[in-house]
């Protein structure tokens, strides 16, 4: 039995916006795998909820007119993992969200919920950062799109304007961002399932046509700071470089210049730093190999 003040079921995106404007204090609920847990714990007890779970228009993966990959915000993790467009172009995202919790959670949890939570450990987030994803928000003033790095404001807070009735409606990956890119996500947890990342690392590369050079490398972490983050110093070390063991080591150690993991009872800063370097090394190696590159 949940301590819930009211539940409003949105019938359309327009309806959801209306409900949001009418009930500014209400919490949006999609799959509920976070919201209901928090409600049970008493953190959101007594709140009003607006459910958008029935909005099928927000489900599914497609290519838009500009060949951007459009992922509806209510698309579940298991849907994303099995989607042919995802598998063809950005399989790394499918692999990343396949590491969320358990099969049951992956069936109910949505990518919109995963990002709107604003938590740094979200399994989708580091890969979306590494892919320069665009977040689409829809409110009373229409559609607003912003880069995912601007969407995250601080831990637990994202740029959704409740006052304008906004809800997140899609996540977009522009063609330039995924074309000829190969990626690898490594989740570091204390066990192999039912886990929240102690650290997540997503790397993707585009090699030169002869596969001898890294044209572009992007790397992002979850739990290396209050929000997911890119590590530009390491990227700069890889961009344009020939993939060698030495170069990869240099790249991996460079992540320490940008990441800011903290000490907590869940893991020490020193531990996270050590693991971050090893993850960068392994993720880049794997991404290069997936791109058909050979490491000298």
Partner 1 sequence: MTVSIVGTSEPRVDGYDKAAGRTKYYEDRMPAEALFVKLKHAEKAHAIVRSIDTAEAEAIDGVVKVLTCFDVPELPFPTAGHPWSMDPGHQDVADRLLLNRHVRYWGDEVALVIAENEVAASQGVRALKVEYEELPFVLDAQKAMEPDAPRLHERFPNNILKHSDIRIGDYKTAIREPGLVKVEGWYETPTVQHAHIENHGCFAYMENGRITVVSSTQIPHIVRRVVGQALGRPWADIQIIKPYVGGGFGNKQDVLYEPLCAWCCTQVGGRPVRVDCSREETFVSNRVRHAIRFHIVTWLRPDATIAARKVELWSNQGAYASHGHSIAAKALGSFPQHYPCQHFEGDAWTVFTNRPAAGAMRGYGMPQASFADESNIDDCARVMGMEPMEFRRLNIMPQGFHDSFSGNTNYYDSFRQCMDRGAALIDYARKREEYSHDSGPIRRGIGLATFWYNTAVYPISLETSSNRMLLNLDGTVTLQCGETEIGQGADTAYAQMTAEALGLASYRDVRVVSCQDTDITPTGLGAYASRQTYVAGFSIRQTAGLLKEKILKYAQELTRQSPDCMDIVAGNIVRRGDGALLMSLKELAMTAQYNPVHSEHLTAESTYTIRNNAYSFGCSFAEVEVDIPMCKAQVKRIINVHDCGRLINPALAEAQVHGGQSMGIGFGLSEQLLFDEKTGKPLNNNLLDYKLSTFLDHPRLEADFIQNPEPSSPYGTKALGEPPTCSPAPAIRNAILQATGVAVNHIPINPHTLFAAFTEAGLIRDPWREEV
The site for partner 1 (CB under 8 A) is made up of 1-3, 42, 45-46, 188, 190-194, 196, 198, 253, 256-257, 265-268, 270-271, 273-275, 277-278
Given a contact cutoff of 8 angstroms between Cβ atoms, the answer to whether 36 and 80 are in contact is no
The smaller minimum CB distance to partner 1, of residues 174 and 189, is found at: 189
3-class SS shares of the chain: helix, strand, coil, % to 5: 35, 25, 40
Give the ranges where 4-72 is alpha helix by DSSP (H).
Answer: 13-22, 35-40
- In the DSSP assignment, the letter for residue 49 is E
The smaller minimum CB distance to partner 1, of residues 153 and 193, is found at: 193
The smaller minimum CB distance to partner 1, of residues 191 and 292, is found at: 191
3 state DSSP class of 59: coil
Rounded Cα gap, residues 285 and 165, in angstroms: 44
The smaller minimum CB distance to partner 1, of residues 178 and 251, is found at: 251
Q: How far is the CB of 182 from partner 1 (least distance, A)?
A: 22
Q: How far is the CB of 252 from partner 1 (least distance, A)?
A: 10
Q: How far is the CB of 140 from partner 1 (least distance, A)?
A: 34
- Chain-centroid distance of CA 235 in Å reads 19
Q: How far is the CB of 111 from partner 1 (least distance, A)?
A: 20
User: How many CB atoms lie under 10 A from the CB of residue 27?
Assistant: 16
Q: How far is the CB of 149 from partner 1 (least distance, A)?
A: 22
């Amino acid at each position: 039995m949940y301590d819930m003040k009211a539940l409003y079921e949105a019938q359309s995106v327009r309806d959801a916006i209306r409900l949001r404007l009418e009930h500014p204090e209400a919490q949006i609920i999609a799959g509920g795998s976070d919201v209901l847990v928090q409600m049970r714990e008493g953190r959101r007890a007594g709140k009003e909820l607006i459910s958008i779970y029935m909005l099928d228009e927000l489900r599914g993966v497609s290519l838009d007119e500009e060949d951007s990959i459009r992922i509806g915000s209510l698309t579940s993790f298991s849907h994303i993992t099995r989607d042919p467009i995802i598998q063809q172009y950005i399989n790394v995202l499918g692999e990343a969200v396949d590491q969320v919790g358990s099969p049951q959670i992956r069936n109910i949890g949505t990518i919109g919920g995963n990002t709107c939570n604003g938590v740094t450990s979200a399994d989708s987030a580091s890969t979306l950062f590494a892919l320069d994803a665009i977040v689409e928000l829809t409110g009373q003033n229409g559609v607003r799109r912003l880069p995912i790095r601007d969407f995250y404001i601080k831990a637990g807070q994202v740029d959704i304007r409740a006052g304008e009735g906004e809800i997140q409606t899609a996540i977009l990956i522009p063609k330039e961002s995924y074309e000829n890119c190969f990626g690898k996500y490594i989740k570091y947890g204390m066990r192999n399932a039912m886990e929240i990342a102690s650290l997540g690392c997503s790397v993707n590369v585009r090699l030169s046509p002869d596969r001898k050079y890294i044209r572009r490398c992007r790397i992002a972490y979850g739990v290396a700071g209050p929000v997911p983050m890119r590590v530009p110093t390491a990227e700069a070390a890889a961009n344009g470089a020939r993939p060698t063991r030495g170069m990869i080591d240099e790249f991996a150690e460079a992540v320490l210049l940008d990441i800011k993991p903290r000490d907590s009872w869940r893991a020490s800063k020193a531990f996270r730093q050590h693991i971050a370097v090893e993850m960068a090394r392994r993720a880049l190696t794997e991404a290069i190999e997936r791109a058909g590159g050979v490491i000298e």
